[in-house]
Structure 1
Amino acid sequence: MSVEHLANVLSAKARSSSWVVVFKALVTIHHLMVNGNERFIQHLASRSSLFTLHNFLDKSVIEGYTMSTFIRRYSRYLNEKSLAYRMISSDITKIKRGTHGVMRTMNTNELLNTLPVIQTQFDALLNFNANPDQLTNGIIQSAFILLFKDSLRLFSAYNEGILNLLDNYFNMRKNQCKESLDIYIKFLGRTAKLTEFLKVAEEFGVEQKDIPYLSQESELVLQQFGFSTTSFLNLSLIRV
């Protein structure tokens, strides 16, 4: 079938009243976004709206109450993933990384436009907020693993964007410095939240070798530029 027809079929499944059907549809859509032909996520991004599941609640079974909460959170993340693609014309989890990657070589104006998009998508992902005791069935477990993989790729791009930001900070205009400081402070908070998310992944059973050590990540980023978090914030306040 065509990409549009496939998207329509899955969207129709996501309007079911059953949490099982809806959750399976969302997991399938997420899988296709990540592993399918790029035309699929391009089509989703072209739609004026993707999911309107913020009020979804399956009262027919006891498990439906808990799973409905995660459906609402999961659908919000997929909405943000689709919107991010529309805004920056690429899936940020798939871009070239490294010293010569997209985020490290992006100019300041584009970087200041892109990082908030990443932040919003990252917030939606971390808001899934499941603990190991709630990952009780194969459907939510599949969603969690997809989110786990996205979190690492998304954070990698996010981190490289912050490196670029710090590298160019003292060459920025005053208004750009203010915006950069706000972005950096938010980055620190999100790094801490990701650490908690990865602890859940480890408790869930993800192999430790697949989980990066992030507790000192923010400080290490600054050390590459020769100053601590405190000294950077003090210098930033003087600069702005």
Structure 2
Amino acid sequence: MSGGGTQKSLRKALGALKDTTTVSLAKVNSDYKELDVAIVKATNHVERPAKEKYIRAIFSAVSATRPRADVAYCIHALARRLSKTHNWAVALKTLVVIHRALREVDPTFHEELMNYGRSRSHMLNLAHFKDDSSPNAWDYSNWIRTYALFLEERLECFRVLKYDVEMDRPRTKDLDTVELLEHLPALQQLLFRVLGCQPQGAAVHNFVVQLALQMVASESIKIYQAISDGTVNLVDKFFEMQRHDAVKALDIYRRAGQQAERLSEFYEVCKSLDIGRGDKFIKIEQPPASFLQAMEEYVREAPRVSTVRKDQVVDNKINAPKEVLAIEYKNTQEAEARPPSPPPPEPVKVEAPIAEPPDLLGLNDPVPDTKDLDEKNAMALAIVPVSDQPPSTAPIHANGTTGWELALVTAPSSNESATAASKLIAYTMMQSEETIRM
């Protein structure tokens, strides 16, 4: 026994020395001397609650009236205190300061704390924290880890709800279905972390643990009231939901019943420890089992929105080509309804002038304007395909003939080219005849 007492006394002396050294360094090197001293003294190694004046100094540093740089520095100093310590008293008292700031300072502190967590590793992640200096310290460490999870979930709930359920009036009774299905799971997860804060072993009788547990228990009342109001609102909308939403709502309703039973046990533990004085805790009643059965039957028969939407998508995909074809057909009909434009001449149909030989000499027709005729003939002959050779290398006939006559003579001798040339000459003659007749 004497050896254990000596070790405990030595640990306390070492902790006090560390605190004194930290305070001395803060007074010399820090630009925020007063704040650093307040943080060290509010979270020192002494195994009893911190003095209120140091906590108030910290709250003043993180209020909305202070520059954001000061608030960020204070949060950084608290996070550094948490990350470097292996002493349960320092860790627990730091968490208590943060918890009280969430409850007593304006909501801007919530936002600054979340911003710090997004930019760096989350300061409330104490999953690996342990103080193995004694068996009691091990029990304290276990409770500190669950307490840190509660505070972390408290911030997450604030992010989802956009308000603090402890500081503001619950709004779940006025939400629509979509918001209810988002807010109620967040509140139930927060209540799950509350139930995890039930102390075990030596932590049951530790005064600092009981102080923090009292804040957790008092918040659980408002959390449960918000869940109850939301559940009543959800039940009112339940029998009009589609199946997808009804399944989620049924899971929420079942979990609410399970948590109500566990919360009653949690309150019994708190009453036995004289936490909350018993009369502050609400009476929890279980819903009738018949109502749960009616909800389950409705879920089995509820309409499936996803199936309807899927059928609509398939129909749209099937009908999409038909709509395009209908538009094309309509355009075709409109085109047919309009006065027909003169179709382009078809070189293939050259039998018509052969069947009825035209008066090529034009003896019975008036004499056309020679200049107009030459221009039209030149335009018609300009589309005759010429050989791939450049104009400068075109062959010259012995009698000096060049131009389109020579191009026709020297064109490729393939059947395709010959046929195209003959059809083009015939077409030119037809155009000349029509011009003469005009």
Q: Shorter-chain-normalised TM-score: which range?
A: 0.7 to 0.9
Whether 1:159 and 2:228 are equivalent positions in the alignment is yes
Corresponding position of 1:56: 129
**Residue identity (%):** 22
Post-superposition offset of 1:168? 0.7
User: How many residues are treated as equivalent by the alignment?
Assistant: 229
Corresponding position of 2:273: 204
Q: Equivalences for 1:90-239 in 2 at 5 Å?
A: 90-97=163-170, 102-130=171-199, 134-205=203-274, 206-214=276-284, 216-219=285-288, 228-239=291-302
Q: Which amino acid aligns with 2:93?
A: K
Q: Which moved more, 1:57-66 or 1:86-95?
A: 86-95
Post-superposition offset of 1:238? 4.1
Give the SS at the match of 1:111: helix
Contact 1:191/1:218 (CA < 8 Å) preserved in 2?
no
Post-superposition offset of 1:53? 0.8
Question: Which of 59, 66, 71 in structure 1 is aligned with 2:144?
Answer: 71
Superposed CA deviations along residues 38-74 of structure 1, whole A, max 9, x for unmatched, are: 2112211222223221011111233210001001111
Q: Which amino acid aligns with 1:130?
A: P
Corresponding position of 2:87: 18
Contact 1:3/1:39 (CA < 8 Å) preserved in 2?
no
Question: Which of 73, 76, 79 in structure 2 is aligned with 1:8?
Answer: 76
Between 1 and 2, higher relative CO (CA 8 Å, sep ≥ 6) is seen in 1
Distance 1:156 1:133 in 2: 31
Whether 1:42 and 2:115 are equivalent positions in the alignment is no
Q: Which amino acid aligns with 2:95?
A: L
With the length of structure 2 as denominator, give the TM-score of the two structures.
0.49
Q: Which moved more, 1:48-57 or 1:66-75?
A: 48-57
Distance 1:108 1:50 in 2: 34
Distance 2:100 2:247 in 1: 38
Superposed CA deviations along residues 187-221 of structure 1, whole A, max 9, x for unmatched, are: 1111111111100111011323212111x2434xx
Distance 1:64 1:170 in 2: 52
Post-superposition offset of 1:21? 0.1
Note the residue ranges of structure 1 that are not aligned, 5 or more in a row: none
Post-superposition offset of 1:131? 5.2
Distance 1:194 1:181 in 2: 20
Distance 1:229 1:41 in 2: 38
Contact 1:188/1:218 (CA < 8 Å) preserved in 2?
yes
Please provide the CA RMSD for this pair.
Answer: 2.0
Whether 1:27 and 2:100 are equivalent positions in the alignment is no
Distance of aligned partners of 1:65 and 1:118 in 2 relative to their CA distance in 1, 3 Å threshold: same
Post-superposition offset of 1:31? 1.0
Q: Which amino acid aligns with 2:158?
A: Y
Distance 1:132 1:56 in 2: 18
Distance 2:201 2:133 in 1: 24
Distance 2:169 2:173 in 1: 10
Q: Which amino acid aligns with 1:63?
A: N
Contact 2:136/2:203 (CA < 8 Å) preserved in 1?
no
Superposed CA deviations along residues 153-198 of structure 1, whole A, max 9, x for unmatched, are: 1111111111110011112121101110011111111111111110
With the length of structure 1 as denominator, give the TM-score of the two structures.
0.87
Distance 2:202 2:266 in 1: 14
Distance 2:152 2:220 in 1: 16
Larger Rg: 2
Contact 2:139/2:202 (CA < 8 Å) preserved in 1?
no
Contact 2:195/2:263 (CA < 8 Å) preserved in 1?
yes
Post-superposition offset of 1:122? 1.2
Distance 2:255 2:301 in 1: 19
Distance 1:35 1:132 in 2: 30
